[in-house]
């Protein structure tokens, strides 16, 4: 959450002005051969984010990638699930070089800070000439997961580094949880591509980040559901239920601010279940009285208080009225209404929300 605060201040400073012509890092040669053409293509792509939320990906990615992935660029929502990475920082291209029949573009995204430069991320893009001589990006999985192994268990196809030995026991545990979720919500199984690595850093590399500001010095489980049928996760091997819950339930409630709460209720957060975080949060609040629900955004890098708050609200609704209660709760579109309706208090205080035992 501390990271999110940093990101949000960067956005507040540079909103709408980050994207555009990328700076070129001295003293690289950007003049020779096809480099100028690749540079123009890349700048044109970044420019698309200037005035629109997302570009027409068909102009920049192959037809196959656009058919397979809703967003074929896994960097766009790699830092924030709803705000494009390219709007968050000023780009400087470090180099463009020919590599394996492609062009490799390495770019630094950052923002000026008071006495230094705040680094957002360093990205790797790959561009290739197509048969019709047009340029298109090569999606990062084709490059970075080329040596990955795959294994399908029920409706989940796992993709994992070749050095990993597949743990069928953990995969079976995940499938057991998934079957229970489907039964509770009366949902049919659907296919999910599940990419996983041991560390978050490896996972970021897979998506196209050479560096990203939320890579921690501790290796905590991290994940993201890119769509209903594609998830990325690290640190929990074959059993990262939290992201699978997102893949099943997010699209049922697109406007709910509690999608994270549902995933935390079923799948915990950063490797620990909701009750573990609940106890930590309760202890913290007992030691720091008077904090309102909307001002507490950071405790430490183990427990995200806002995610846990949302998980507790979902748990309370489930305890009271089961799945029907959760469905009703997920129909709200803002937290203010949720807190007012469920807890009859404004601002909502933690004591009323902490009914779960």
Binding site for Zn ion (CB under 5 A): 260, 263
First to last CA, the chain: 26
Select the residue whose beta carbon is closest to Zn ion and give its number.
Answer: 263
Cβ 259 to Zn ion, closest distance in Å? 7
Cβ 231 to Zn ion, closest distance in Å? 10
DSSP conformation class of 165: P
Strands 135-138 and 209-212 turn out to be: unpaired
Beta strands in 44-171 (DSSP E): 90-99, 102-112, 117-129, 135-138, 149-153, 156-160
> 263 vs 312, which CB is nearer to Zn ion?
263
From the list 80, 103, 109, the residue with the least C-alpha distance to 8 is 80
Cβ 83 to Zn ion, closest distance in Å? 16
> 45 vs 248, which CB is nearer to Zn ion?
248
Cβ 225 to Zn ion, closest distance in Å? 7
DSSP H helices, 222-344, are 241-249, 259-267, 274-287, 305-330, 335-343
> 84 vs 223, which CB is nearer to Zn ion?
223
> 102 vs 263, which CB is nearer to Zn ion?
263
Q: How far apart are CA 106 and CA 122, in angstroms?
A: 7
> 111 vs 306, which CB is nearer to Zn ion?
306
- Which residues on adjacent β-strands are paired with residue 125? 105
Cβ 334 to Zn ion, closest distance in Å? 19
Q: For residue 158, give every residue at least 6 positions away whose Cβ sits within 8 Å of its Cβ, in sequence order, or none.
A: 150, 151, 152, 166, 171, 194, 196, 238
Cβ 311 to Zn ion, closest distance in Å? 10
Cβ 77 to Zn ion, closest distance in Å? 13
Cβ 260 to Zn ion, closest distance in Å? 5
> 299 vs 308, which CB is nearer to Zn ion?
308
Q: How far apart are CA 208 and CA 205, in angstroms?
A: 5
How many residues comprise the chain? 357
> 48 vs 260, which CB is nearer to Zn ion?
260
From the list 48, 49, 43, the residue with the least C-alpha distance to 88 is 49
125 φ, ψ (degrees, to nearest 5)? -115, 150
> 46 vs 263, which CB is nearer to Zn ion?
263
Query: Are the C-beta atoms of residues 144 and 205 closer than 8 Å to each other?
Result: yes
Cβ 341 to Zn ion, closest distance in Å? 23
From the list 244, 306, 264, the residue with the least C-alpha distance to 2 is 306
> 240 vs 343, which CB is nearer to Zn ion?
240
Q: How far apart are CA 111 and CA 119, in angstroms?
A: 7
DSSP string, 246-274: HHHHGGGSTT-TTHHHHHHHHH-BTTB-H
């Amino acid at each position: 959450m501390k990271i999110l605060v940093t990101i949000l201040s960067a956005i507040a400073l540079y909103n709408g002005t980050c994207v555009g012509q990328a700076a070129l890092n001295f003293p690289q040669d950007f003049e020779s051969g096809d480099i100028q053409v690749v540079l123009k293509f890349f700048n044109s792509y970044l420019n698309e984010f200037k005035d629109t939320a997302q570009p027409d990906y068909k102009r920049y990615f192959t037809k196959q990638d656009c058919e397979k992935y809703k967003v074929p660029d896994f960097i766009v929502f790699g830092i924030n699930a709803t705000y494009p990475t390219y709007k968050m920082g000023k780009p400087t291209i470090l180099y463009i070089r020919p590599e394996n029949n492609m062009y490799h573009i390495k770019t630094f995204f950052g923002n000026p800070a008071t006495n230094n430069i705040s680094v957002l991320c360093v990205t790797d893009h790959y561009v290739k000439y197509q048969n019709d001589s047009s340029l298109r990006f090569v999606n990062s999985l084709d490059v970075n997961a080329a040596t990955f192994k795959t294994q399908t268990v029920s409706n989940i196809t796992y993709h994992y580094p070749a050095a990993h030995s597949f743990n069928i026991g953990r995969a079976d545990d995940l499938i057991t949880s998934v079957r229970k979720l489907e039964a509770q919500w009366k949902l049919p199984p659907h296919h999910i591509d599940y990419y996983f690595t041991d560390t978050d850093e490896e996972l970021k590399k897979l998506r196209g980040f050479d560096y990203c500001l939320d890579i921690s010095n501790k290796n905590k489980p991290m994940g993201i559901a890119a769509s209903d049928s594609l998830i990325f996760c690290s640190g929990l091997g074959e059993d990262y239920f939290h992201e699978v819950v997102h893949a099943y339930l997010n699209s049922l409630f697109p406007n709910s601010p509690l999608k994270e709460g549902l995933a935390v209720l079923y799948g915990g957060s950063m490797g620990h279940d909701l009750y573990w975080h609940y106890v930590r949060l309760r202890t913290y609040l007992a030691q720091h009285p008077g904090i309102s629900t909307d001002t507490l955004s950071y405790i430490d890098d183990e427990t995200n208080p806002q995610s846990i708050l949302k998980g507790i609200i979902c748990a309370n609704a489930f305890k009271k009225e089961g799945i029907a209660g959760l469905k009703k709760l997920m129909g709200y579109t803002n937290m203010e209404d949720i807190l007012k309706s469920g807890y009859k208090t404004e601002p909502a205080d933690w004591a009323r929300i902490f009914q779960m035992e």
